Structure 1
Amino acid sequence: MHCAAAFWEIGGEAEAPAVLDALLQAMAQNSATANHVVACLDRMGSLAAPALPLLREQLSLPRRGGRFQSVDHDEELQRLGGTLLARLDPPAPVAPAPRTA
Structure 2
Amino acid sequence: MTHDYERVRVHCAAALWEIGGDSEAPTVPEVLLQAWGQNPSTANHVVACLDRMGPAARPALPQLRAELRYLQRRGRYRGIDTDEDLQRISRMLIERLD
Q: TM-score, normalised by structure 1?
A: 0.85
The structure with the greater share of residues assigned to helix is: 2
Query: Distance between the aligned counterparts of 1:26 and 1:87, measured in 2?
Result: 23
Q: TM-score, normalised by structure 2?
A: 0.88
Matched-pair contact (CA < 8 Å) for 1:31–1:64: no
Alignment coverage as a number of residue pairs: 89
Matched-pair contact (CA < 8 Å) for 1:58–1:64: no
**Identical-residue share of aligned pairs (%):** 61
Unmatched segments (≥5 aa) in structure 1: 90-101
Residue 57 in structure 1 maps to residue 81 in structure 2: no
Give the letter for the 2:23 counterpart. Answer: A
Matched-pair contact (CA < 8 Å) for 2:68–2:87: yes
Find runs of 4+ consecutive structure 1 residues off by over 2 angstroms: none
Give me the CA root mean square deviation: 0.7
Unmatched segments (≥5 aa) in structure 2: 1-9
Per the alignment, residue 92 of structure 1 pairs with none
Larger radius of gyration: 1
Per the alignment, residue 5 of structure 2 pairs with none
Matched-pair contact (CA < 8 Å) for 2:13–2:32: yes
